[in-house]
Structure 1
């Protein structure tokens, strides 16, 4: 079982030829409304990858709540850990340009009410995986990691969106997942020397004594774990929309590790899934099903 403790949002996505600069108005072309939130995105990705998933999070008492949960509900995942609160459902305002790059502002709403109490009520057991992000209050994330550790569960942390946090959180986890910006941020927390991405991943893995996985966009992904370093190529694609690709990678990675795949094999599947997600619009609608990912993996061999 993968237990996802995290955010549930509705995404308002505007499409424009370019991303705006401060004070600039850009005329766009289309507005879309889709389910999102890093927690929910990663839960859906893990579920579409074939894992048994329980979502723990908060939504509002508004109409957005039903829409935000719609695709999660379609998978049949356990939503008993999702609570309705007296605030608006978390909302992400997203602008995507013609090249697929994006800018995002998140209004947390009900997500700001998520505490470890929700995880205590939902339950987590030994041999489960707890999947965490930083889009909900840090106190709750830290307490959830401690609770999961006490129960004997494995813990994966995706430090997104990056912000300053108590480094003690990293002492409770098994797998750290970062992108290039987040990698630099975590290295900065430890006053690490100037390092390449590869050396930075190795440095962190050795310092923290955990597996560190970095996604590097078109350069693929790499990881270091107890002295072993692995690299995986990205799909050669022209992206349509990169929103949700990172969450797709994380959810698929968690699913692979939870079913016993070796780290490199789990990364290979996650990389293909993330690449396919870039070929469709929207965070959750773009997440591919396991069958499509495995078919492409076979074709690449």
Structure 2
């Protein structure tokens, strides 16, 4: 299969700290690292490592951070020919604080990501599509409207979207917070809706009726950054391969759990062999 992913491309600057700060609090003693990230880029590389051919559409700045942000995608074999370089805006940056239990706080400076416009898109997007909401909503809406095949929309971060998008999506993926934001609107279309619940697993619905659920294997969490994006890439690959709902959820939960066992978003993304090995051991 060949999947098109349209989405954000960031450089993640990660501070691993003894604890996450409260409002107005300074926390010292952190270790600093830089990793490629961005929801679109993460989901693209996750799907690629799990067996799909992937083309990423997005935008980076004409700066040194762009090379860092694209490095693992390039090495991993993601097609970057549809990634444009913006001469005026910087590459997107995510500032991430992580505690010893793997929980995080994230602030994103979108940069060039917010300059991805409908004009950058082809008139038709052939093959399966994955999209998220770290790009301008009008661009995501246009991409979904031009898609001719299976469409997965990760409604993250939560933002108002059209009823047309919700009805067009064959698969919607949200976490519990995002599910609460959209409420019953998620179930107005005929597509499948997956609600992820972290260590508690994930549930799949269709027209508001539960179809399947699965829980992840027990792992020692180091950094949850990228785990949700891994799940999105994995559930899309699994369903496109024809897995039944419960098997697809099990596969995606395992992939997401593995992503939480290593630091960083893209450096932590598991291979197909790693996911199948941990499922076999359940």
Pairwise TM-score range, normalised by the shorter structure = over 0.9
The corresponding residue for 1:194 is none
Alignment of 1:223 onto 2:222: no
Out of 262-271 and 62-71, give the one that drifted further.
262-271
Runs ≥4 residues deviating over 3 A: none
The corresponding residue for 2:94 is 92
Q: Distance in 1 between matches of 2:17 and 2:96?
A: 10
Out of 112-121 and 169-178, give the one that drifted further.
112-121
Q: Distance in 2 between matches of 1:2 and 1:11?
A: 24
Q: What SS is found at the alignment partner of 1:249?
A: helix
Q: Conserved in 2, the CA contact under 8 Å of 1:16 and 1:96? A: yes
The corresponding residue for 2:142 is 143
Deviations 1:176-221 (A, max 9, x none): 1000101101107x5xxxxxxxxxxxxx43x322200011111111
Q: Conserved in 1, the CA contact under 8 Å of 2:230 and 2:256? A: yes
Q: Conserved in 2, the CA contact under 8 Å of 1:269 and 1:297? A: yes
Offset of residue 228 of structure 1: 5.3
Pick aligned residue for 1:176 from 172, 179, 183: 172
Within-5 A mapping of 1:1-301: 1-86=2-87, 87-120=89-122, 124-125=125-126, 128-148=127-147, 152-187=148-183, 190=185, 204-205=186-187, 207-225=188-206, 227=209, 229-300=211-282
Gaps of 5+ in 1: 191-203
Offset of residue 116 of structure 1: 2.5
- What is the alpha-carbon root mean square deviation over aligned residues? 1.5
Offset of residue 286 of structure 1: 0.5
Q: What SS is found at the alignment partner of 2:268?
A: coil
Q: Normalising by structure 1, what TM-score?
A: 0.89
Gaps of 5+ in 2: none
Q: What SS is found at the alignment partner of 1:10?
A: strand
Deviations 1:103-123 (A, max 9, x none): 0000000101112233307x6
Offset of residue 165 of structure 1: 2.7
Q: Distance in 1 between matches of 2:24 and 2:281?
A: 47
